[in-house]
Amino acid sequence: MRILLLTFYFEPDLCAGSFRNTALAEAFSKHLKKEDHLDVVTTMPNRYSTYQADASEFEKYASNIHVYRSELPEHKSGFFDQINSFKAYYISARKQVKDKEYDLVIASSSRLFTAFLGARVSSNKKAPLFLDMRDLFRENMQEIIKNPLINYPLDIFLSFIEKYTFNKADRINIVSEGFRDFFDKFDSQISFYPNGIDEVFLMNDFSNNTESKGKRIITYAGNIGDGQGLHKIIPQTANLLKDTDYVFRIIGDGGTRHLLEKELNVRKITNVELIDPVNRDNLLNYYKETDYLFLHLNDYDAFKKVLPSKIFEYAATGKPMIAGVGGYAKEFLRENVEGLLLFEPCNENELAEALKSNVLPKDAVDRNGFINKFARSSIMNEMAEYILKSYRED
């Protein structure tokens, strides 16, 4: 069986899509037969302009797995930057697979268009399509873009892309059970293989004696975009906590980092540290130093369906978690994660009062049950087995 995996992100890039699809390729390497072959068509590391990582355009990942990376134009994660980047990836990917035949096309997508690319390639190759959907892009755009002159025609266009793409797939995997109602209307078999905890977090001891440092550190690490809405919660909460020993440490970059910086400067905030993206080795050290780990989603209805991958990473450290989320993510956290402070998204008063009340535990939290249930390697192994079994039988 010849398989094509389309993913905009792959190692050594720093993002949820990269970590997930690298783990999936690793899982495939354990289950492919000698006569099988997997091509991964992806991009050179590009998630953040402030983070650089070396990678080759071609990599023999395993004996029967090849990785092809496309060069993209430089960008700063803005809306139009992302359009240009995907256009370059789309053209390059179509050229890369033009003269190759595949028995199965897999596309992992958060912003819909990698899934659309998969649908086009699948149709061209007359091969079945398996989609791994990590977000609901059109619903997000409906809430993020407020201008009706842009929103209305964009929604019509994206609706067409959605219907074409999802109707081409005979199987669709979702990473959040909050997506199920949306995808049930399409004539596809739905599976649920969520994100999980990468092995690097299972091999480290994050315990740290923080009593003598004189401050309590709250760390967020990841994308700084409209979806996270950090500019709507961090400066406001930090201002309310200016006379306490709390310090926010924000590690990352993204399309709304400039808005966060602007709010911090306007309010003359001194208890927030902004740090550019770092590799995972350095990130582990920051996690070790921190007292609490912070997660936030903007107050949009579309985000009530998502399950942020950051939950799994944070939970594995045993550090107390602070989460401003709603909907399915809130339910998931309540059911699965101990040592947790939940607050309503964008509600700085609720968050500040809770932190002043010292409601979070000071010591590490035992989450062994969660870790055993959501190890990424186990989830991806099950997913790879499911895909191969499904299409070999077909």
CA nearest to 64, candidates 20, 21, 25, 108: 25
CA–CA distances in Å: residue 50 to residues 16, 89, 250: 17, 20, 14
Pairing of strands 189-192, 272-275: unpaired
Please count the other Cβ atoms lying within 10 Å of the Cβ belonging to residue 184: 11
Q: What is the per-residue pLDDT across 343-371, written as a single tens digit (0 to 9) for each?
A: 999 999 999 999 999 888 878 899 999 99
Same fold: 2-196+376-393 with 199-373? yes
Task: Render pLDDT for 49-63 as a digit per residue (tens, 0 to 9).
Answer: 666 788 899 999 999
The reported pLDDT for the residue numbered 210 is 53
Distance CA 134, CA 132 (A): 6
Task: Identify the weakest region by mean pLDDT among 71-85, 133-147, 232-246.
Answer: 71-85
Dist CA 383 CA 52 (whole Å)? 31
Homologous superfamily in CATH for domain 2-196+376-393: Glycogen Phosphorylase B; (3.40.50.2000)
Residue 371 CA: distances (Å) to CA of 200, 203, 230, 336: 12, 12, 27, 10
pLDDT for residue 51: 67
The predicted structure's pLDDT at residue 12 = 92
> So where are the chain's domains?
2-196+376-393, 199-373
pLDDT given for residue 214 in this prediction: 84
Rounded to 5°, the CA angle 368-337-346 comes to 150
Q: Which CATH superfamily is domain 199-373 in?
A: Glycogen Phosphorylase B; (3.40.50.2000)
Across 12-16, 238-242, 390-394, the highest mean pLDDT is recorded for 238-242
Highest mean pLDDT among 19-23, 81-85, 203-207: 19-23
